[in-house]
Structure 1
């Protein structure tokens, strides 16, 4: 799998970007270094600092790692970690089960891909990288024969949690999953005890999920390590809006599956 894009903004050329899957140990380390910069250094999470400068855990070796590389500098500038059903079976769980009870989703596991650890280098957040990652993710799911995408989407608690409450209340009214797909957080975020912000600012990744037809599957969990409220999202490819399906490269057969 390899996709490329070259964009122009006025007369200023943007980098040529190439997508692929990490195939070597060094490519995995490149991905882990980018994740460390975005999730640890840029967020100032000193308690999670490591001497090797890598963000890694036991899930990495069972996952595939989508990456976007600047073809000129060869720098990895975006990544998405995806756990296919076979990897989840080897592990005995998916990453989201660290935060949620997913018992109601057991019937979906053989057709479910979990995506996480999405991050983009600060200098490349103009939109092209995330579009390429989504297109690569859609292609990956087709090749895996899976029609459900799941994962956690984080909302920062840097403001005391007010925005997280506002976002959750908004999505609870508009994008709540049917009861048979509801999950339960192990460590609930106390959204009922915190006043919502006046205007909800939905993080870009979560907004992309919702625009593409995903559901929020219940109350948020609290992640104290990353100081975030995490929502579990589920996107049946059958829900994928046609315009977004075309944008991300999902064919009509995949939509109808």
Structure 2
């Protein structure tokens, strides 16, 4: 593993995890990432992966991606991951993964500065916020190192609650798209029926529901939802297209992640 960040010892308890952020550099590390993804997405969320092999989530794009990982070195365990596809590698891969869900022609002028992130997951025993913040720090380092301005991906919302959280996010998405009407908008290839989300908009469950933590975090740093959601039937999710322009990030997070 190419190490990027280690949490200072004085910020961790003596008996707590020793977390290190890095880029996977061996096949064994990539396979550990794939096992974590399978455990979270399939065993925990019930997602079916057509290309899964021996308890690992494997697909065509893995070979072209950089795999950002957080390891607990005490347990020798991969506990968090994102995969990142650069503009150059997307050409080799035949496009971005997101192009299997969205038509991206309005982002064509951004491609040379556009990186894609996805397949984010965290081990269930490490969801206190430390791992995801390390991963976001790693994404920021990656963007700075490769001199990229835009980060694009899909923010998935489970439909296991009958679409309640998805309806909440769609309300916010519409507000954002009205507010930032000049931003590129992508189009879902398999759209989720918006009337199903809008029918729930005024319901009590939607009003009382919480914004999904990951999407809330994205929006906090300055990400924008840039189109209608796609329906991922394999994952049983509604996927919202999200883009981060590092030039428009919240100033606090620009400083925190080293852009200023």
TM-score (norm 2): 0.90
* 1:140-151 map, 5 Å: 140-151=142-153
Is the CA contact 1:40–1:48 (under 8 Å) kept in the aligned structure 2?
no
> Contact 2:165–2:212 (CA<8 Å) still a contact in 1?
no
Q: Alignment partner for residue 91 of structure 1, among 68, 72, 93?
A: 93
Q: CA deviation at 1:168?
A: 1.1
Q: Distance in 2 between matches of 1:124 and 1:163?
A: 23
1:231 aligns with 2:244: no
> Structure 1 residue 210 and structure 2 residue 213: aligned?
no
Indicate if the aligned counterparts of 1:166 and 1:199 stay in contact, CA closer than 8 A: no
Mapping of residues 60-209 of structure 1, within 5 Å: 60-174=62-176, 177-193=180-196, 194-196=199-201, 197-209=206-218
The 1:165–1:208 alpha-carbon spacing in structure 2 relative to 1, beyond 3 Å, is same
**Residues 217, 232 of structure 1: 8 Å contact kept:** yes
Among residues 39, 42, 52, which one is paired with 1:40 in the alignment? 42
Aligned length, in residue pairs: 251
Whole-angstrom distance in 1 between the partners of 2:146 and 2:108: 18
Distance 1:49 1:159, change over 3 A: farther
Residue among 239, 244, 253 paired with 2:253: 244
Q: Which runs of 4+ in 1 moved over 4 A?
A: 6-13, 46-51
CA contact (8 A) 1:167 1:200 kept: no
Label 1:111 to 1:31 Cα distance change in 2 as closer, same or farther (>3 A).
same
SS at match of 2:92: helix
Unaligned runs of 5+ in 2: none
Cα 1:143–1:66 change in 2 (3 A) is same
Mapped to 2, the partners of 1:125 and 1:92 lie a distance apart of 34
Residues 104 and 180, structure 1, Cα contact 8 Å, conserved in 2: no
Q: Which runs of 5+ in 1 are unaligned?
A: 253-257
Change (3 A) 1:175 1:26: same
RMSD of the alignment, in Å? Answer: 2.0
Distance 1:104 1:49, change over 3 A: closer
Describe the superposition over 1:179-233 as per-residue Cα deviations: whole angstroms up to 9, x where unpaired: 4410111111112234132234222221111111111111111111111100000
Contact 2:12–2:18 (8 Å) recurs in 1: no
Q: TM-score scaled to structure 1, two decimals?
A: 0.91
Aligned 8 A contact 1:175 1:210 in 2: no
Distance 1:3 1:142, change over 3 A: same
